[in-house]
Amino acid sequence: MAEIVFEKVGKSFGSTKVIENLDLTIEDGKFTVLVGSSGCGKTTLLRMIAGIGPATSGRILMDGKDITHQPPEKRDIAMVFQNYAIYPTMSVRENIEFGLKNKKVPKEERDRRIAEYAEIVGMTPYLDRKPSDLSGGQRQRIALARAMVKKPSVFLMDEPLSNLDAKLRAAMRVELIELQRRLGTTFVYVTHDQIEAMSMADTIVLMEKGQIQQIGSPEEIYHEPANIFSAQFIGTPPMNVLDLDGGVRFGVRPESIRMSAERMDGMALYRRGHVITREMLGAELQYKVRLSDGKTLMVRSENDRDDVEESADVWVMAPARHLHFFDADGRHIGHGGPEDLLKKVGGINE
Amino acid sequence: MIKAIKNYFVQPGWGLQLLSDIIKILLMLAFIFPFYWMLVTAFKGYTESMAVPPTLFPKVWTLEGYRSTFNSGLNILNYAKNTVLITTAVIALQLVIMVPAAYAFAKREFPLKGLWFGIVLVAFMIPLQLTYIPVYLRMQDLNLVNTLWPQILPMGADAFGIFMLRQSFKQIPDEIIESAKLDSAGEIQIMTRIMLPMCKSAMVTIAMFSFIGTWNAYFWPLVMTRNESVRPLTMAVEKLRDVEMGIRWNSLMAANTLLVVPILIVFIFASKKIIEGFAYRGMK
Amino acid sequence: MTAVTSMTREQKKELGRIKRRSWLISYAMILPAIVFLIAFVIYPTISMFIMSLYFGNAMNPYKRFQWFKNYSVRPDFWVALRNTAEYTGMALVLVMVLSILFAQWMYKSRKLNNVAQTVFFTPHLVAGVSAGFIWSWLMSSQPYGLFNTVFNALGLSSVRWLDDSSTAMFSIVLMNTWKSVGYYCLIIMSAMKSIPTEIYESARLDGSSSIKTFFKITIPMISPQLFFLLITITTGSFKVFDSVRIMTGGGPGDATRVLSMYIYDYAFERNNTLGYACAAGILMMLMMVAVTVFDFGFVEKKVHYQ
């Protein structure tokens, strides 16, 4: 069991408070992703779990044990750094072996584990090479093997894929998911890329400015965003948010908007719009549309569902269930209702 | 300021850090101490400088040491003048010779470029110890031994300086030169109005290296001169010691301050640059 | 598509002229430097070698061809060589160890460390003779010598520093260490600064103690700079002259007569030994080259380049 609990945790650098009074429980055995923009505090939290950037207030518990002041080397964790932190003067084998040697693991056990995990990451033929001869992707696998070989209760990963090219990144995403399923260990993964978060996480912890905006599964965050920030952070392009009166705002995702020359029945949102740009992205069409009141919307249409031309004048529509309402503080009121707000959106008579 | 002090003691493990910092400061003081001792001795009177036990701070401040130096029968002013002349001449000569050469090696193509640069490389590795005898003999033949020239001319080309300037010129994008050519700039114009201003930093560093090297030179003047009238201050200080019948340390230290203080002044003004320059030397 | 027009004879000629003109200007630019280097560095070295084959003096270096006698060195050559080796050995150990320790102590970027860096570097800038004088003054065996005064105050007995043949060499090494530590420390420090902190963090997570991290990670990663130090300190030690001459003049007796002084003595202070001095100089150079080659051949293998 390796459940991690943050209790009223705070972190200050000098007089700057980065994190204040934060509570969080990271479930054992799950793939949890801490996601947010730069400086939101996600890496700070990760380093607190590792012990290399200790909390300045509050407690951190692992498995119920208070590890707040425990030195990093005594914690049962392993970490993969963004730049891999491979020891450049040691061979691949020595890199992987280093932690085990320090923990006085006997030689046969060491060799066995190295062989096993080198095989899992596919680096067996490279064991006696120097890291400087290897590519970024290969070095990343070494970092992974080095972490796994310690058989920790928790894996920490700090944006491990951000230095890889797009294709490799996509492939590694899948591999990491498989790895976690296979090992069953708690994974805590930090990224700024919401696509990575959505694709890999069992649980997403969305952070901004040192505070947790929302915790939930990818489905939950997508369908039930807790606030405007969550709603707009997840999803590309971000959710379109428009004003209603009384401080209330409503939002609709680009992929939920319909467009056509004729009015369609059964919608809750109706506006007239002028298509400004049309981007052909392969399986999707992406549009920028200007409404009659001057506001612009992004619209995404998959598989040629609504194919309109540039400079066309169209009806811009969306069904009730895809409209999300937010109060004056940005908090989510609901989607698909309440009725009175739905009516206000209207536009039936435009 | 007070916040910074408070922050210091808030860090975990500040006790050991404080101890380490105190030792560091003590060590720093110890390192500077010889200079302090030199200065302090320079301003002591003869008797006080010989006092047992020595006084850390002069009981009586006096210029006796300096007067002694200047009245020692050696023409200190002439030695100082020599040092200044030689240093200035070497810096000027080096800049005139090395800048065009470095530019050519950096940015221009011409036949046998590799060969000529190879010569620079080879010259870089040969120490003064291997060249002074023949150079002296040549100077003797040319009747230059009683002039300042033997201390100036051989220093005209410094291989390391050429390397450094070349590096600095290389960093200027070719496009700037091409665009200047399109603006009908002549070679000299390109060099003076574009390249030089962009390499000011490197040239200043070279000038400083030259200054320090030439100002402090002892071995080369020793082997290149026979006549006191062309010798620099470094040799004067040595002679002072030999001339004095009992060693007057206060006078000797006073003379030394003339050698050391100008360097320290330059260092105070340009410490960062000098340190960077020396660090670069290590990267070769 | 129009075909590429080939140049006319005149155009080719013109291009050639422009090129040649450019070459001429380039040559003009490098000429002074090359001339100076050949005249004052390259040619004298060759000259020195030739003179080493002859018996002669400053007036006439080429009196008699005598290469064998010149190169069969006199017994005092070995004394000078031993002294130089002694100096080099002591300097190498002292300077390298201290530079590494200081660097490890001071490489983290803090106001105090930045000031310390500058302070420790300062002695490097002053003349060898000045440093020699100041330390001779400090190390004076007379009652007013400060070092001994402090020693006595601490209950230690006086040391005869430069006046005792068993301590003279060490005293000179000590002074030169003071003078050069700052510089070498600087070089090591910039190497240490380039090691990413993540490597240290990872090592910590791998359970590595500070000492282990230092020897297994830090040292290998700065090994190129350590190698540079090895070469530079060694070659520099062969050439040491100013400080020795000022502080001891080679004495007491022959205790600190190093090679460079030996050569100087034979070159100018004695009669008809110019050729011999040149031979000794050439031998010194050969030894420096040999040591460097040895370093590159055997020691360089251990350097971890990245």
| CATH code for position A296 | 2.40.50.100
Using DSSP bridges, classify how beta strands A57-62 and A65-66 pair: parallel, antiparallel or unpaired.
antiparallel
| Domain assignment of residue A231, yes or no | no
Cβ atoms A159, A82 nearer than 8 A:
yes
Q: Which residues contact C207 (CB under 8 A, 6 or more apart)?
A: A73, A99, A102, A103
- Residue B284's pLDDT band, with cuts at 50, 70 and 90, is low
When divided into structural domains, chain A yields a total of 2
Helix (H, G, I), strand (E, B) or coil at A251: strand
- Closest listed residue to residue B240, CA positions, set B219, B256, B259, B221: B256
CB pair distance less than 8 Å for B54 and C48: no
Domain boundary among the residues A170, A201, A223 is at: A223
Q: What is the domain class of C75-302 according to CATH? A: mainly alpha
| Domain assignment of residue B264, yes or no | no
> Which chain A residue has its CA at the smallest distance from B6's CA?
A14
Cα-based torsion angle of the residue sequence B129, B134, B139, B142 in order, rounded to the nearest 10 degrees: -170
A154 versus B1: the higher-pLDDT residue is A154
Answer yes or no: is pLDDT of C274 > 80: yes
When divided into structural domains, chain B yields a total of 1
Cβ atoms C94, C173 nearer than 8 A:
yes
- Per residue in B144-169, pLDDT tens? 888 999 999 999 888 888 888 888 88
- pLDDT tens digit at each of 350 positions of chain A: 589 999 999 998 877 888 989 999 999 999 999 999 988 999 999 999 999 888 889 999 998 889 998 888 889 999 999 888 999 999 999 999 999 998 888 999 999 999 999 988 888 999 999 998 899 889 999 999 999 999 999 999 999 998 888 888 988 899 999 999 998 999 999 999 999 999 999 999 999 999 999 999 999 999 999 999 999 999 889 999 988 877 888 899 999 999 998 888 888 888 899 999 999 988 899 999 999 888 899 999 988 788 888 898 999 999 988 989 898 888 888 888 777 777 777 765 54
Q: How far is A109 from chain B (nearest CA, A)?
A: 37
Cβ atoms A73, C207 nearer than 8 A:
yes
To test the contact with chain B by mutation, choose from A12, A13, A15 the residue with the greatest count of B C-beta atoms within 10 A, namely A15
This model of the complex carries an ipTM of: 0.86
Task: Mark out the alpha helices in A161-203 (DSSP H runs).
Answer: 166-183, 194-200
- Closest listed residue to residue B73, CA positions, set B270, B276, B228, B284: B228
- Residue B54's pLDDT band, with cuts at 50, 70 and 90, is confident
Answer yes or no: is pLDDT of B23 > 90: yes
pLDDT at B216: 93
Count of CB pairs separated by less than 8 Å, A with C = 61
> Which chain A residue has its CA at the smallest distance from B9's CA?
A14
- Taking any CB pair shorter than 8 Å as contact, residues of chain A touching chain C are 50, 52, 72-73, 77-79, 81-83, 85, 87-90, 98-99, 102-103, 132, 146, 150
Tokens of A249: 């705002």
| Domain assignment of residue B201, yes or no | yes
CB pair distance less than 8 Å for C278 and B119: no
- Taking any CB pair shorter than 8 Å as contact, residues of chain A touching chain B are 14-15, 54
* Pair (A215, A266) in one structural domain: no
Instruction: Tell me the chain B residues in contact with residue C38 when contact means C-beta distances shorter than 8 Å.
Output: 119
Cβ atoms C36, C265 nearer than 8 A:
no
Determine contact: B192 vs chain C, CB below 8 A: no
* Pair (A276, A211) in one structural domain: no
Rounded to whole angstroms, the Cα distance separating B13 from A141 reads 36
- Closest listed residue to residue B78, CA positions, set B204, B231, B208: B231
Cβ atoms B104, C26 nearer than 8 A:
yes
Mean pLDDT within C268-281: 84
CB pair distance less than 8 Å for A79 and C208: no
A252: amino acid identity, one letter: V
- Per residue in B168-196, pLDDT tens? 888 888 888 788 778 777 777 776 777 77
C143 versus C99: the higher-pLDDT residue is C99
B 217-256: CB under 8 A from C: 217-219, 223, 234, 237-238, 241, 249, 252-253, 256
Q: How far is B24 from chain A (nearest CA, A)?
A: 24
pLDDT at A350: 47
Q: Which residues contact B50 (CB under 8 A, 6 or more apart)?
A: B249, C144
Q: How many CA atoms lie within 13 A of C185 on its CB side?
A: 29
Tokens of C20: 């040649």
* Percent residues over pLDDT 70 in chain B: 95
* Pair (A156, A260) in one structural domain: no
- Residue B93's pLDDT band, with cuts at 50, 70 and 90, is very high
Instruction: Tell me the chain A residues in contact with residue B12 when contact means C-beta distances shorter than 8 Å.
Output: 54
- Per residue in B119-148, pLDDT tens? 998 888 888 888 998 999 889 889 888 899
pLDDT at B282: 65
Q: How far is A202 from chain C (nearest CA, A)?
A: 26
Domain boundary among the residues A223, A258, A278 is at: A223
| Domain assignment of residue A66, yes or no | yes
Q: How far is A44 from chain B (nearest CA, A)?
A: 18
Q: How far is C229 from chain A (nearest CA, A)?
A: 19
Task: Mark out the alpha helices in chain C (DSSP H runs).
Answer: 9-37, 43-51, 67-71, 75-106, 111-121, 128-138, 146-153, 168-193, 197-205, 210-213, 219-221, 223-238, 242-247, 259-264, 274-294
| Domain assignment of residue B105, yes or no | yes
Rounded to whole angstroms, the Cα distance separating A63 from A44 reads 21
Residue spans of beta strands (DSSP E) within A179-312: 186-191, 203-208, 211-216, 240-243, 249-252, 258-260, 269-280, 284-291, 296-302
| Domain assignment of residue A350, yes or no | no
The helix or strand, by DSSP H or E, that contains position A22, with its residue range, turns out to be strand A16-26
CB pair distance less than 8 Å for C37 and B20: no
Answer yes or no: is pLDDT of C294 > 50: yes
To test the contact with chain C by mutation, choose from B25, B133, B276 the residue with the greatest count of C C-beta atoms within 10 A, namely B133
Predicted TM-score (pTM) of the model is 0.84
- Per-residue HEC secondary structure of C30-70 comes to HHHHHHHHHHHHHHHHHHHHHHCCEECCCCCCCCEECHHHH
| Domain assignment of residue B214, yes or no | yes
pLDDT at A243: 86
* Pair (A209, A291) in one structural domain: no
CB pair distance less than 8 Å for A85 and C202: yes
Helix (H, G, I), strand (E, B) or coil at C29: helix
B 119-138: CB under 8 A from C: 119-120, 122-123, 126-138
Rounded to whole angstroms, the Cα distance separating C267 from C261 reads 10
| Domain assignment of residue B255, yes or no | no
> Which chain C residue has its CA at the smallest distance from B35's CA?
C134
Rounded to whole angstroms, the Cα distance separating A276 from B131 reads 78
* Pair (A134, A19) in one structural domain: yes
Instruction: Tell me the chain A residues in contact with residue B7 when contact means C-beta distances shorter than 8 Å.
Output: 14-15
Determine contact: B141 vs chain C, CB below 8 A: no
- Closest listed residue to residue A78, CA positions, set C135, C256, B78, C201: C201
| Domain assignment of residue B25, yes or no | no
Domain boundary among the residues A201, A223, A245 is at: A223
Looking at chain C, which residues constitute the CATH 1.10.3720.10 domain(s)? 75-302
- Taking any CB pair shorter than 8 Å as contact, residues of chain B touching chain A are 3, 7, 12
| Domain assignment of residue A228, yes or no | no
- Residue B246's pLDDT band, with cuts at 50, 70 and 90, is low
Q: What are phi and psi of A20, to 5 degrees?
A: -135, 130
C 82-141: CB under 8 A from B: 105-106, 112, 115-131, 133-135, 137-138, 140
| Domain assignment of residue B273, yes or no | no
Q: How far is B28 from chain A (nearest CA, A)?
A: 28
Range of the domain at A277: 236-345
CATH of the domain at A145: 3.40.50.300
Please count the other Cβ atoms lying within 10 Å of the Cβ belonging to residue A304: 9
